[in-house]
Amino acid sequence: MNPLTSLLPTGPVAKIRTLKTLIWLGASLPLLRLLILGMTDDLGANPVEFVERSTGTWGLVFLLLSLGITPLRQWTQQAWLIAVRRLLGLWMFAYACLHVLTYLWLDYSFDWPDIVKDIIKHPYVLVGASAFLLTLPLAATSNQRAIRALKQRWKSLHKLVYFIGVLVLLHYWWLVKKDVTEPVIYSMVFAGLMIARWKLHVNQAKR
């Protein structure tokens, strides 16, 4: 037996624990990077914008990763993968909170009249705020107690994640002024995931 192979987790519980650990480590690295860049005064000419862009982008990344779990689970026939979807969703919410907090605190110092003016002046802020507000009930009900209490309504509620994805991408497209490479890439990934999930739904309906 290969000694390296023997070190790999084998059972579902061990695999879940290992993957969750890797997700925690991977999700923490962007925060560590921001902390180091902040301490070394290396956040660029506009530090607040840098932090806003970084946290917003990582929030989108974790949103896409969470949406990718269901197709990946079906294709690989690894049912245990569903156990990490909640963690990915919570990391999406964490980065979304940091993104919004950076805007409210570092960008506008909680000056609500100015914030309202900015929302009126820049519709992409309103779109982003709407997306964030829609994540609140999803985060609040991401637990077994809520699943048991809401039953079928839980699935209906959590379908909001698709609309949130559309709003986040619209927010991103509206925000970017010149180089649209990243919005194009993320939009293509989102579209691909939606097509994959739709095909899975159609195949399941035929059975």
pLDDT tens string 23-71:
999 999 999 999 999 999 999 999 999 999 999 999 999 999 999 999 9
Q: What is the pLDDT of residue 201?
A: 78
Q: Say how many domains are in the chain.
A: 1
Mean pLDDT of 85-95: 97
Percent pLDDT > 90 in the chain is: 78
The tens digit of pLDDT for each residue in 97-108 reads 999 999 999 999
CA distance linking residue 49 with residue 82, whole number of Å = 34
Q: Find all residues with CB under 8 Å of 69, minimum gap 6, and list them.
A: 81, 82, 84, 85, 88
The tens digit of pLDDT for each residue in 145-180 reads 999 999 899 999 999 999 999 999 999 999 987 889
Q: What is the pLDDT of residue 10?
A: 64
Q: Which domain holds residue 174?
A: 3-206
CA distance linking residue 123 with residue 173, whole number of Å = 12
Average pLDDT taken over every residue of the chain? 91
